[in-house]
């Protein structure tokens, strides 16, 4: 039986997905994601980077994963963890 903290975290994740979630197709499988746009700065170059937080324990991120999101076909260039969930950076 999950402890109270895990139950509350699951409820918060469900509320986040309901309010801000979208769907992305990653390597042919559908996942709930939340966009995490961020400002990318590299000296004189700057712009926004596209990244998604994937709300699934099943997804194991890898470079070059194929992502269909928001009408675009993108590729995972790098990944890290964000609040215990995979965050994938797309190009």
Let me know the angle formed at the C-alpha of 24 by 58 and 37, rounded to the nearest 5 degrees.
Answer: 105
pLDDT digits (tens, 9 = 90+) for 40-66: 665 666 666 789 999 999 999 999 999
In this prediction, residue 47 carries a pLDDT of 63
In degrees and rounded to multiples of 5, residue 83 shows phi and psi of 55, 40
Query: Distance between CA atoms of 27 and 43, rounded to whole angstroms?
Result: 33
**Which tokens is 25 given?**
């197709």
Query: Distance between CA atoms of 32 and 44, rounded to whole angstroms?
Result: 35
Nearest alpha-carbon partner for 35 in 21, 56, 55, 16: 21
Residue spans of the chain under pLDDT 70: 1, 38-48
Please name each of the domains of the chain with its CATH number: 22-90 (2.40.10.210)
């Amino acid at each position: 039986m999950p402890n109270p903290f895990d139950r509350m975290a699951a409820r918060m994740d469900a509320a986040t997905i309901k309010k801000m979630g979208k769907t992305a197709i990653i390597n042919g499988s559908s996942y709930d994601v939340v966009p995490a746009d961020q400002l990318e700065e590299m000296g004189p170059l700057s712009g926004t980077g596209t990244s998604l937080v994937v709300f699934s324990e099943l997804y194991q991120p890898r470079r070059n994963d194929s992502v269909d999101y928001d009408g675009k076909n993108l590729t995972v260039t790098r990944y890290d963890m964000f609040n215990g969930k995979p965050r994938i950076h797309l190009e």
